[in-house]
Amino acid sequence: MRVIAGIAKGRVLKAVPGQQTRPTSDKVKEAIYSMIGPYFSGGVVLDLFAGTGGLGIEACSRGAERAIFVDSESKSVAVIKHNLQVTGMEAIAEVYRNDALRAVKVLARRNLKLQLVFLDPPYRMTNMMEYIDLFLQHNMLEADAYIVVEHDAKVTYPDSYDSIHVKKVANYGDTTVTIYQYCSE
């Protein structure tokens, strides 16, 4: 597992020890970024259920201004901090050990506007629309923001919900990536 492009290209990222975390493969990560655009000019990224932090770190390497990483596991938080240090991105990152739902509610009070959201939960969790609903309720998305949901291929998410619409759905074996785009009215 490594950073694929940008200022930290080629840096090797540490994995979370044990079987609890399933890091996004380089192949899937590369596919995600080819679908949402390879580079960014600023913007805030939220990597929820961050695991290794690989998705958010990749966004920062490709030009995101700031990233917020949230995971409930202390092992994951330690690995994220290590990976931020290896890539030299500690100064533009916030890392929190917290329950994802509680973290979104706390972040909502900060009046954040997110350009990119990664939802890569354990595959047993199939309630990502609940999180998306919170982002919409609290007006947390910038115009044209992306929400990337990585999930089990057996799970299907709706083509649209309120003001978000599927931009692309791609299958990679037992993994599916559903990419939503927010259309502000």
Task: For 139-158, write each residue's pLDDT tens digit.
Answer: 999 999 999 999 999 999 99
Say whether pLDDT at 27 is over 90. no
Is residue 6 one of the residues assigned to a domain? Answer: no
Structural domain of 171: 26-182
Say whether pLDDT at 67 is over 80. yes
Say whether pLDDT at 21 is over 70. no
H-helix segments, the chain: 26-36, 54-61, 74-87, 100-108, 128-137
117-128: pLDDT as tens digits: 999 998 889 999
Give the largest Cα separation in the chain, rounded: 44
Instruction: Tell me the pLDDT of the chain averaged across its residues.
Output: 93
Q: Is 2 helix (H, G, I), strand (E, B) or coil?
A: strand
Q: Residue 59: which of 41, 82, 80, 85 has the closest Cα? A: 41
CATH number of the domain where residue 97 is located: 3.40.50.150
**185 vs 11: CA distance, rounded Å:** 40
User: Do 131 and 103 contact (CB within 8 A), yes or no?
Assistant: no
Rg (CA), the chain: 15
Is residue 114 one of the residues assigned to a domain? Answer: yes
Is residue 117 one of the residues assigned to a domain? Answer: yes
pLDDT of residue 17: 85
Is residue 51 one of the residues assigned to a domain? Answer: yes
pLDDT of residue 167: 95
46-66: pLDDT as tens digits: 999 999 999 999 999 999 999
Q: How many domains does the chain have?
A: 1
Q: Which residue, chain included where needed, has tokens 């329950």?
A: 99
Q: Residue 14: which of 71, 89, 73, 85 has the closest Cα? A: 85
Give CA 86 to chain center in angstroms: 19
Is residue 15 one of the residues assigned to a domain? Answer: no
Say how many CA atoms lie within 13 Å of 74 toward its Cβ: 0
Region 96-105 average pLDDT: 96
Q: What ranges make up the beta strands (E) of the chain?
A: 44-48, 66-71, 93-97, 114-119, 141-152, 160-161, 164-172, 175-182
pLDDT of residue 19: 63
Is residue 134 one of the residues assigned to a domain? Answer: yes
Is residue 12 one of the residues assigned to a domain? Answer: no
Is residue 60 one of the residues assigned to a domain? Answer: yes
Give CA 96 to chain center in angstroms: 14
